[in-house]
Copies of this chain bind each other. A is one copy, B any other.
Amino acid sequence: MPLTGQSIIGYRRGNTSGAQLRAFNPATREELDPVYHSSSLTEVAEAADLAFQAFSTFGWLSGKKRAVFLRRIAEKVEALGEELVERAVAESALPLARIRAERGRTVSQLRFFADIIDEGSWVDARIDFADPARQPVPKPDVRSMLRPLGPIVVFGASNFPLAFSVAGGDTASAFAAGNPVIVLAHYSHPGTAELVGLAIRDAASELGLPEGVFSLLYDAGYEVARALVAHPHIKGGGFTGSRSGGTTLLKIATSRPEPIPFYAEMSSVNPVFVLPNALKTRSESLAKGLHGSVTLGVGQFCTNPGVVITTGDDAGFVSQLAALLSETQPGAMLNRRISSSYESAVAERMTRTNVTTRVAQKDAIEAAGRKCQASAALFETDTKSWLADETLHSEIFGPTTIIVHAAGKADLLEIARKLEGNLTATIHGTEEDLRDNADLIAVLETKVGRILFNGFPTGVEVCQAMVHGGPYPATSDSRTTSVGARAILRFARPVCYQDFPESALPDELKTANQLGILRLVGGRYIREMEQKQST
């Protein structure tokens, strides 16, 4: 499919008069064709108007019909074949196998949400029947369910050109809930975005959906991003990226005349606590596992373990980890901005008082940086120094971590209490360790969305129970997750119908329950077709 470098605004293509941007291959350090064109503010308004119009239709389609749309998108993305894979590799420097796997995850996510809305119980339908005889006042008939928010803006993520970009998790869950979506492509992978955007457009068009159900815009700067979040037709947003970017957009979203929910997934150091029994019995496998997690995707995961707290005899463990990291070849990062941020953050950390640089040579870091690459780095410090130096609490996006030596349980607790919000925390130890450190778990639970036992935080399972969220700055809204089934809840709100006649109620709330969904009726969870789903 020939790329044209233009925005996709409903069923038409954008203008070519805006500021230009081009993709850059971080592995070859070459610019890629074609030239992309920033969307104009007029085009932002057009996309928003189209989305607003589309909402009145798309928002009322049945879950089963929206499921067809999601599955069609998945097919269309698959049909892009190697062209998509090659372009995504070229724009991200991520390995071929990783991009193939990410494509698999992307289409699985679309089908996962299709299954959820096909089944339909996610809408949390509730019915309280009337009681006209109740004293002192009659009881009305009250029914409610989750309904879509309205047009949603989704920001492509540099580190997931497929699974968290144009047809990624935010888009899939926003569509699933019944919302039109406007995606702002990430400047790092405009071609990947265009290919996937055209796939969504074609799926919508083939199914006769209103054109405004989807648009894809480009932005060489920040103007389009700001305008989208501020636009009165936009009713929510999803973002995965840096803390500064997320916080800036969040501020726009919350200070609009009508504030809107804005889900920014931003920054996380994903602490790993290694307890004495783990160090004693399996320091080598721990070092290997941690090395894999720290360097996976050149450290460019939001769940990358950026701080490791050890207590007990960790000399062997740290040596093994240091050896593995120093043997790690530099790897190309996603783009120049990320590699230069990594380079300067590592260089800055090397200057911190009371921080020992175990792995990292200034020359190696700089040489890698000049090639848009990252060279792994390992730091060490003690509890007191870590507690005192807040720069050590922040994420460095890339293949680096810091070991914090804790003297015992009191140190562990103090470190846990000092942590900012995170996506994950991990404990390595025995079952007894978990019991003995119940207070530590209790503190961590208030700081993170997911606690792992004897695992590594990278690799986020897409399933009903997953929580990929956490208190600020991990995300802007700790009540939500951007991965897993609950992600759909971000883009819906409850609406209540009082004393409505059956004919005017949504199908989900009609007494007969022909959809066979699980509902809370008169305070009891029931579904007519009980056998279909329950044991």
Contact = CB atoms under 8 A, between A and B. Distances in A.
Copies of the protein in its oligomer: 2
Contact of A496 (B467, B498, B524): B467
A341 interface: no
Interface residues of A, number: 90
Contacts of A480: 493-494
B496 A464 contact: no
B525 A525 contact: yes
B526 A478 contact: no
Given A451-B500, A461-B140, A495 B445 contact: yes
A533 interface: yes
B498 A142 contact: no
A455 interface: yes
A128 interface: yes
A471 B258 contact: yes
A466 interface: yes
A534 B523 contact: no
Interface string A494-535: 111111110110000000000000101011111100100111
A344 interface: no
A319 interface: no
A80 interface: no
B494 A467 contact: yes
Contacts of A499: 452-455
A431 B472 contact: no
Contact of A150 (B139, B435, B446): B446
Interface string A91-133: 0000000000100000000000000000001001011100000
Contact of A498 (B140, B439, B452, B478): B452
Contact of A535 (B451, B485, B520, B526): B526
Contacts of A500: 434, 451, 453
15 contacts: A56-B442, A128-B464, A140-B452, A142-B466, A144-B467, A149-B479, A250-B254, A259-B476, A435-B504, A451-B497, A453-B498, A479-B492, A518-B525, A525-B527, A534-B534
